[in-house]
Structure 1
């Protein structure tokens, strides 16, 4: 066989030149999925598998990892909102107001992106009234050091969670994550009771199903061991972006690679649907999650915090 590949290259990007049935040569580029004495299998970015017989291989070699393309931060900022929509939404110009009976900051906060269509003071007053009418604090999700964050702070909005570390939005390309999971991952279009029981430590908040299942194209992954669901996660497609959240592993089953398997399962679901890039969110001081995501090739796109309107006390 003519090859510079071996088992140690599994999981890395390779290029394989091989002969088609008609005799012509073609190249396949992707991640080496498996290799044995008879065949090798290359996984393309869209998760398609290409099994190739060694007798047809003309040349094969490992290639450097594909560098992450620069991310359009403003576009991704809006994409994250579409991936997990709130129960109730309203607009002030291009600003997005979200409310979901108080469950999660993201689903109950202003997203100040674009032109509010009126003076900043009037737009902020409109936002404060929107949340006051619903018995909710006026919160805004802002990218750190963005013009919008600076403008809101100049109008008296302050850090709503000074005790909390920054939230990082991280991104990567799908071909760095869509490896074969070590566990069987079930992906369904709707979550069942077992999924929710694992996703939440205690009763499921009343607004959660509407928020979790509200995206136009969402999927719910789970891993079962010992006859019960022990790891879950949620994915949603927005254009070519796969957003992943609600990744949780039963405490008794942590440090076994289950979170990685859930992410890989969702990524393999998204690839054939046109997914090319992935994002997720993590609090900076969540060391285990940060380690998992970094090992899968995720890199920081931006950070955000919540600001509270004037008169609102910081959350404790």
Structure 2
């Protein structure tokens, strides 16, 4: 809603989400996560604003943004393509991102990409946005599904206004994760490359929620331009179903507002219906899907 009210020297407007009314004051949450408490006696006009539809997203730009938000341990460029390697940890961290032009004929570019991965003892695979020209080109050259039985990965997006409400839990934010954070984020040993990848973004933050002094829910986020990328959200099995994951996302979104964040994305397997449903409730919608293709030489 928009609330016009008197201030010293005149009138001003505040636009945001009406969070509540208490003790004669309206509480309005702005898109940058700041909360404004306005004395009701100072209000001269107020009206609801119809919810704005999400602006169309540039999927090619977002496709690249997701890579920059969680950079691989090693990245090389082939023209505008990204060659990423992270000692085998995660598909994203160990795959070709064929966005833009490689600066050479496609067969030659793919030959060089394959050599990059073979040199590192990794399978040559490509991170492909479904429905993109790159998908059609690589499939036409014989590249096939890396994980035929696995569901698509959904990349979902929304604006911070939808997700930056005050979380119902106390969420701690730190610039560096500790041992306890990793203990929730991973089952078993933490791959060495994971620490390099998760902590490698120029501007990142790590969230955790503790119960009885022990962390039971964690998440990570990074800023790329005005985009907040949320990932590594995980809740301990005994504490699932209590809204902890949503609270982690809300806290990360509130951190992003003062950093200049305006939009947010995350990735989730389509088969993880519980998570997909929770993110949709927060206001996330699908931007695109991706899968991995591997070279026919594999």
TM above 0.5, yes or no, is yes
Which residue in 2 is equivalent to 1:257? 243
Structure 1 residues without counterparts, runs of 5 or longer: 1-13
Per-residue deviation, 1:15: 1.5
Provide the rounded CA distance (Å) in 1 between the counterparts of 2:18 and 2:189: 43
Verify: 1:228 aligned to 2:214, yes or no.
Answer: yes
Per-residue deviation, 1:66: 2.4
Which residue in 2 is equivalent to 1:151? 137
Which residue in 1 is equivalent to 2:264? 278
Instruction: State the secondary structure of the residue aligned to 2:181.
Output: helix
Provide the rounded CA distance (Å) in 2 between the counterparts of 1:81 and 1:128: 19
Provide the rounded CA distance (Å) in 1 between the counterparts of 2:279 and 2:211: 23
Give aligned pairs, total.
298
Verify: 1:188 aligned to 2:191, yes or no.
Answer: no
* Counterpart pick for 1:248 among 227, 230, 234: 234
Q: Following TM superposition, where does structure 1 have runs of at least 4 consecutive aligned residues deviating by more than 4 angstroms?
A: none
Q: Is the 8 A contact 1:195 1:229 kept in 2?
A: yes
Instruction: State the secondary structure of the residue aligned to 1:132.
Output: helix
Q: Is the 8 A contact 1:189 1:219 kept in 2?
A: yes
Map 1:130-209; keep pairs closer than 5 Å: 130-209=116-195
Map 1:8-27; keep pairs closer than 5 Å: 14-22=1-9, 24-27=10-13
Provide the rounded CA distance (Å) in 2 between the counterparts of 1:207 and 1:33: 42
Which residue in 2 is equivalent to 1:6? none
Deviates more, 1:57-66 or 1:78-87: 57-66
Per-residue deviation, 1:37: 3.3
Per-residue deviation, 1:115: 0.7
In the TM superposition, what whole-angstrom CA distance separates every residue of 1:169-206 from its partner, at most 9, and x where no partner exists?
00000010000000011111100011000000111111
Instruction: State the secondary structure of the residue aligned to 1:74.
Output: helix
* Counterpart pick for 1:31 among 13, 17, 34: 17
Structure 2 residues without counterparts, runs of 5 or longer: none
Which residue in 1 is equivalent to 2:65? 79
In the TM superposition, what whole-angstrom CA distance separates every residue of 1:43-72 from its partner, at most 9, and x where no partner exists?
110111111011111222332222111101
In the TM superposition, what whole-angstrom CA distance separates every residue of 1:254-279 from its partner, at most 9, and x where no partner exists?
11010010000000000001000000
* Counterpart pick for 2:49 among 57, 60, 63: 63
Per-residue deviation, 1:78: 0.4
Instruction: State the secondary structure of the residue aligned to 1:289.
Output: helix
Q: Is the 8 A contact 1:142 1:306 kept in 2?
A: yes
Instruction: State the secondary structure of the residue aligned to 1:280.
Output: strand
Instruction: State the secondary structure of the residue aligned to 2:97.
Output: coil
In the TM superposition, what whole-angstrom CA distance separates every residue of 1:154-182 from its partner, at most 9, and x where no partner exists?
11110111101111100000010000000
Which residue in 2 is equivalent to 1:304? 290
Instruction: State the secondary structure of the residue aligned to 2:96.
Output: coil
Instruction: State the secondary structure of the residue aligned to 1:311.
Output: coil
Q: Is the 8 A contact 1:33 1:180 kept in 2?
A: no
* Counterpart pick for 1:266 among 243, 249, 252: 252
- TM-score w.r.t. structure 2 length? 0.98
- TM-score w.r.t. structure 1 length? 0.93
Per-residue deviation, 1:92: 1.0
